[in-house]
Amino acid sequence: MHNGAMTVTENTADLGGITLAHAALKRFLAKNPTQDVDGLNADQRCFVAWSQMWAYKGRSERLRFLVSVDVHAIASVRAIAPLLHLDAFHQAFGTRPGDAMWRAPEKRLRIW
């Protein structure tokens, strides 16, 4: 279990990072449209790439240690938690109530 007080600043930074990265992508795409690749549009690829960036496999002992001392959430949390707060993520994948990745709009955090 993470210590939210210990990871809050880095969690906020992750949310800000993906928010800005996606905004930069949208700005670029406004002048440079792209086609779908492997059935995914640019927004979807952005969010999949974010999650893939955090791919990590560690022994349970290592993960327990990291949760106790690291100011960052473990990779599996960083891979998906910020995305749950982005309207653009939910629009890109068409999530709805009942979906595993759904977060109601009123529960989504916005930092800007």
pTM: 0.91
Q: What is the pLDDT of residue 112?
A: 73
The backbone torsions φ and ψ at residue 40, rounded to the nearest 5 degrees and listed phi first, read -115, 135
pLDDT at position 2: 80
pLDDT of 68 strictly over 90: yes
